[in-house]
Amino acid sequence: MKFSYNWIKEFVPTLDLPAEGLERLITMKTAECDGVEKVGPLREGAVVAKVLEAEAIPGYHNQKALVNAGPYGIKTVVCGAPNCRAGLSTIYVPLGTKMVSGVLSDGMLASAAELDINKDHDGIVELDGSEGIPVLDHAIEIDNKSITHRPDLWGHHGMAREVAAITGHALRDVVDMSRLPAPGSPVEVEIEDFTLCPRYSALVFENVTVQPSPLWLQARLMAVGLNPINNIVDLTNFIMAELAQPMHAFDREKLVGRTIYARPAREGESILALNDETYALTPANLVIADASGPIAVAGVIGGDGSAISETTTTIVLESASFQASSVRKTSSALKLRTDASMRFEKAQDPRNTIRALARALELLPILSPGIRLVGGLADCCGPLADPPAIPLDLDWLGRKLGRPMDAAEVRGILESLEFKVDAAFNAAFLVTPPTWRATKDVAMAEDLVEEVGRMIGYDSFPPTPPLVPCAPTYDPPAREFLRHVKRTMAAEGFTEVSNYSFISEEEARRFGLKPEDHVRVLNPIAAGQELMRTSLIPGIHRNVVENARHFDHFRIFEVGHEIHKQADATVKPLERPHLMLALFAKDDGRAGLLELKRVAQFLAPGLEVRAAEAKPFEHSTRAADLYWRDAKIGRLAELHPHLVEAGRASVLDLDLDLLLELTPATVKYTAVRRFPTSAFDLSVVATAREHSGSLEAAIRRLAGPLAEAVEYVREYQGAPLPEGKKSVSFRVVVGAPDKTLSTPEILAIRDGIIDGLTAIGYELRV
């Protein structure tokens, strides 16, 4: 959010700090600032000028103008604006001389956009003789997150109050409440629920002239990031930026009936908003309505049907307060955030509505000469409770802040922020926060500690180590296990990726997942993120496709949660952590599957791969389930070629909760082998579609208890093997714990394997 330095100085007239120094103080005491930006730098040194002569330059679109530039004398300026003409009062900027269109031009005549007055680039500024040039300003940029709990700081008067307290200067209040008329408005206001709308105030004006705002007002709005529109709309934005109170103006002639209602929308109602979008409404949305239906979405946006236009002559000027959560929910549901909704979401003070109207009564005659107030004030208000007093023990305050606190110093700080301070008893105060700090900001003694501490300056407190024993904390086993998994994958050369837990219905169907089986998000943060994922595969697939555009091979992994809907809708969805790996290469894909199996064995030594029916997104012959300790722990497969056109991608999915459950809590010691092992190779001839895993299992079974390992070596297809056959080679490692196996014993094991395989129909190449 941007704050105008000049605007703050109007509230603190004696302020003598430059903008940069003020920005530093605000950062240290109130809210984090992002920097200071010059607004309208060309205004510095600019003067009002009169065009004496203007003539076209032959062969060019520009004109040569003779200009009376006041203190700079008579200047010759080349100007390309179509409205440059003799007799025009405009703004001259002394930028030095340069050759333009064959003419030596001294300075320039500026457009409003070049001077940061508005966004009009079409011509140079036209002055009516009564206006001067807005002076150079500085915009202090403040991080919105720093003031999200401070509804009063969403306006310049609230920030000026902070500046006055910080610097010790007096604060000027520009609102004259005596201007407010007595009740007796020609419009009536009805509020159905004072919880949703604590207050709604309005005034009616006639003889309104809708026209561009004066330059000073346009420049002031531009300095804080608001676009000038016309004098009536600009007035509402000006007061919003000044007092943090959003306002809205209706064309009274377009309203039906004399009663304005603040009520929940009815089923089936909709509204065409000022942004030309039509919004379907529900009873969860608070609206402002007349007898015909909604005319505004309360706290968010006005309706097009009652908008101010050039033909407007009578207006209803509203100033209201709405429940913060109601505005936030409506804004989220409609996917529409506005300057007004951002302020209402912070819980504005209902007492501020009539202050804004009093300010409008002072400004409207300046912006629309001849305007007249019709009747009195319409003010429908629920009960407004005074903020409760908060006990503040000064000794306790000193302990919290780290040093003794003087009572006079504490009182001075709180009263400078307009808190009411009463002495309760020795070394204690009763502190009543102002109404603009009591909505959702200051409610307990700890909040007062922050107020005193920040104003004193946290940098003034000497750092002191805590005087309590400290002991290291240890992560629970589940978290340490997840870290172990990540470290292992990183050590194997995999790069970690992180994806959102949301997918679209289209993605769910692409991977054979039923949308109705997913938890649906009521207010998705973006299109295509309406379902909570039940598998990590959609996100990993996106990663593979994106990276395949830039790399010929890569390996990635993600540790994330699958979210599964429960049969009982009242039960919280089940979240299970999963590990998914993907290995991409521009080859035939076989090596990728074997590599993923190897990596999986680091987490589940001795896991078994069992062929399984392929899912819709998997290669039809390259899919398997993974078993460990007689439990299915995951899936190994190659993605279907139509999903990855640039190469082959293999994926591994492991259920980490189940893997942790099956992992022994303690590791048993195994003595170092005392006797050597022996190894021999076998090549089994099988059909081309035979899974090597089934062959490995058969060999392991036939080898008996002395088989230490059965390792896949290679496979071969081609001559002299017949078509449709392949040779799969394994290395069998055998050994005994109490002796070295003799050659006859090794041959007996080998012959037993050969005889067993032959008996079940396999041929061996020996």
Q: Do 524 and 437 reside in the same domain of the chain?
A: no
Name residue 395's amino acid: D
pLDDT, residue 694, reads: 86
- 295: burial class by Cβ within 10 Å (0-12, 13-18, 19+)? buried
**Domain contains 131:** no
First CA to last CA across the chain, in angstroms?
A: 81
Do the beta carbons of residue 51 and residue 84 sit within 8 Å? yes
Q: Do 238 and 354 reside in the same domain of the chain?
A: yes
**Domain contains 395:** no
Do the beta carbons of residue 667 and residue 606 sit within 8 Å? no
Residues 329-355 have a mean pLDDT of: 96
3-class secondary-structure state, position 157: helix
Do the beta carbons of residue 693 and residue 609 sit within 8 Å? yes
pLDDT digits (tens, 9 = 90+) for 26-69: 999 999 999 999 999 999 999 999 999 999 999 999 999 999 99
Q: Do 152 and 182 reside in the same domain of the chain?
A: no
Cα separation of 177 and 464, whole Å?
49
Torsional sign, CA 93, 99, 100, 105: positive
Q: Do 347 and 206 reside in the same domain of the chain?
A: yes
Q: Do 197 and 150 reside in the same domain of the chain?
A: no
Question: Is the model's pLDDT at 626 over the cut of 90?
Answer: yes
Angle at 246 between CA 240 and CA 250, to 5 degrees: 115
Q: Do 36 and 68 reside in the same domain of the chain?
A: no
Cα separation of 359 and 108, whole Å?
38
Q: Do 653 and 707 reside in the same domain of the chain?
A: no
- State both tokens at 434: 């102002």
Q: What is the mean pLDDT of the chain?
A: 94
CATH number (domain holding residue 647): 3.30.930.10
pTM over 0.75: no
Contacts of 21 (CB under 8 A, 6+ apart): none
Cα separation of 466 and 389, whole Å?
32
Residue percentage of the chain with pLDDT more than 70 = 100
- 690: burial class by Cβ within 10 Å (0-12, 13-18, 19+)? middle
pLDDT, residue 693, reads: 83
Domain boundary residue among 366, 381, 396? 381
**Residue 668 confidence class, pLDDT cut points 50, 70, 90:** confident
Could you give phi then psi for residue 354, rounded to 5 degrees? -80, -25
**Domain contains 668:** no
pLDDT, residue 692, reads: 84
**Domain contains 268:** yes
Domain boundary residue among 638, 662, 686? 662
Cα 175 versus chain centre, distance: 36
Question: Is the model's pLDDT at 473 over the cut of 90?
Answer: no
Name residue 236's amino acid: T
Q: How many residues in total does the chain contain?
A: 766
Cα separation of 716 and 725, whole Å?
9
**Domain contains 481:** yes
Q: Do 205 and 65 reside in the same domain of the chain?
A: no
CATH number (domain holding residue 24): 3.30.56.10
pLDDT digits (tens, 9 = 90+) for 578-616: 999 999 999 988 899 999 999 999 999 988 888 899 999
Do the beta carbons of residue 375 and residue 247 sit within 8 Å? no
Cα-Cα-Cα-Cα torsion 389, 144, 9, 421, nearest 10 degrees, comes to 10
Closest C-alpha among 647, 645, 611, 644 to residue 626: 611
| Cβ atoms within 10 Å of 52's Cβ, excluding its own | 14
| Cβ atoms within 10 Å of 404's Cβ, excluding its own | 10
Name residue 128's amino acid: D
Domain count, the chain: 6
Domain boundary residue among 148, 167, 186? 167
Cα separation of 606 and 585, whole Å?
26
Question: Is the model's pLDDT at 278 over the cut of 90?
Answer: yes
Q: Alpha helix locations (H) across 13-86?
A: 19-29
pLDDT, residue 35, reads: 94
Q: Do 66 and 93 reside in the same domain of the chain?
A: yes
**Domain contains 470:** no
CATH number (domain holding residue 85): 2.40.50.140
Measured CA distances, 154 to 236, 435, 466, 692 (Å):
14, 15, 37, 69
Q: Do 344 and 358 reside in the same domain of the chain?
A: yes
According to DSSP, the residues that pair with 556 across neighbouring strands are 495, 582
**Residue 486 confidence class, pLDDT cut points 50, 70, 90:** very high
Closest C-alpha among 516, 499, 620 to residue 556: 499
Q: Do 351 and 266 reside in the same domain of the chain?
A: yes
Cα separation of 489 and 758, whole Å?
41
Cα separation of 6 and 38, whole Å?
11
Question: Is the model's pLDDT at 509 over the cut of 80?
Answer: yes
**Domain contains 515:** yes
**Domain contains 540:** yes
Closest C-alpha among 500, 656, 640, 634 to residue 578: 656
Domain span at 52: 41-109
Do the beta carbons of residue 345 and residue 327 sit within 8 Å? yes
Q: Do 631 and 703 reside in the same domain of the chain?
A: no
Residues 401-420 have a mean pLDDT of: 93
Report DSSP state, residue 445. H
- The string over 704-717, giving b where at least 16 C-beta atoms fall within 10 Å of a residue's C-beta and e elsewhere, is eebbeebeeeebee
Cα separation of 158 and 242, whole Å?
8
CATH number (domain holding residue 694): 3.30.70.380
Instruction: Establish whether the linkage from the previous residue to 433 is cis, with ω within 30° of 0.
Output: no
Do the beta carbons of residue 11 and residue 165 sit within 8 Å? no
Question: Is the model's pLDDT at 665 over the cut of 80?
Answer: no
**Residue 208 confidence class, pLDDT cut points 50, 70, 90:** very high
**Residue 766 confidence class, pLDDT cut points 50, 70, 90:** low
- Window from 257-266, 422-431, 479-488 with minimum mean pLDDT: 422-431
